[in-house]
Structure 1
Amino acid sequence: MTDRSRMFVYPKQADSFVFDWGRLALTVAPEVNGAERFSGGVVDLQKGQGHTRHNHPGAEEIIFVISGTGEQMVEDENGNPVVQQVGPGCTVYVPESRFHSTTNTGDGPMRLFVVYSPAGPELALRELPDFRLEPAASRN
């Protein structure tokens, strides 16, 4: 059974994956609160920064724009990039294994909520050269 204290998680309570372009606070995942079928968290992108083109083999992703504006690319079924401006309230579906990227094109920070299914693709981020782990306890 899931510990009640981990059923409700704010980004400041979660360990963050920190990169040169921003951060991911993993708020739901097997190792965070026992989620079994998906993982997710809050992504903060600095002005002018973003995720470079990448994919998650075997996993789908949902990106929900909380605040800010940006340019979202998702490849179609033929591998052609489909680019669109996105803003608050937009939900982006990234089909399994498709390449995609997000760039903050706004005047300030951009905040997203991302969900991976199945859980696990976010763990590959630990292998990126600019990865740093920032424990939640260090931000209190």
Structure 2
Amino acid sequence: MGNRNFFVEPKDVETMTFDWGSFKVTCSPEVNGASGFSAGIVEMLPGGGHDRHNHPGAEEIIYVLAGEGEQMVEDEDGNPIVSTVTAGCTIYVPESRYHYTVNTGKDPMRVFVVYSPAGSERELRKLPDCRIVPAEQSPAR
């Protein structure tokens, strides 16, 4: 990829919108040629979040930028470990492990997510409530 996009602003990429919030993928093979991981910014509306799910074959890091929520990650025996998370918290989700995130606050909850390897972000496009907003129509956040 000759013209790598090393610097990506949220306004430069499409937005996947859902009933619970939105996701902007700012680093991926498609966005800038990243080969080992993908990353982006997720915003969850108050009361919104991700249902229990997993990413087969991928690890995930979730870093809470703003807001507060409830985070669950299953341990190696499948037991749910639940914690309140706030800005500054890093959550590690091991490969293929079930987890969920819910915004329990009254303001939007923003998180930065990283998937390794890349690809889990593509699965979100298949969800029935996913709507794609092109970059030129996307809000900057």
TM class by smaller structure: over 0.9
2:3 alignment partner in structure 1: 3
Give me the whole-angstrom Cα distance separating, in 1, the residues matched to 2:99 and 2:70.
11
The secondary structure found in structure 2 opposite 1:123 is helix
Q: Greater CA deviation, 12-21 or 84-93?
A: 12-21
- Give structure 1 stretches of 5+ with no counterpart: none
Deviation, structure 1 residue 139:
3.0
2:118 alignment partner in structure 1: 119
- The RMSD of aligned alpha carbons is 1.1
Q: Which stretches of structure 1, 4 residues or longer, exceed 3 Å deviation after superposition?
A: none
The secondary structure found in structure 1 opposite 2:121 is helix
Give the TM-score normalised by the residue count of structure 2: 0.95
Give me the whole-angstrom Cα distance separating, in 2, the residues matched to 1:3 and 1:28.
14
Contact 1:73/1:83 (8 A) holds in 2: yes
Structure 1 residues 59 and 10, CA, compared in 2 at 3 Å: closer, same or farther?
same
Contact 1:46/1:104 (8 A) holds in 2: yes
Give the TM-score normalised by the residue count of structure 1: 0.96
1:75 alignment partner in structure 2: 74
Deviation, structure 1 residue 2:
5.4
Identity between Structure 1 and Structure 2 (%): 60
- Give structure 2 stretches of 5+ with no counterpart: none
1:52 alignment partner in structure 2: 51
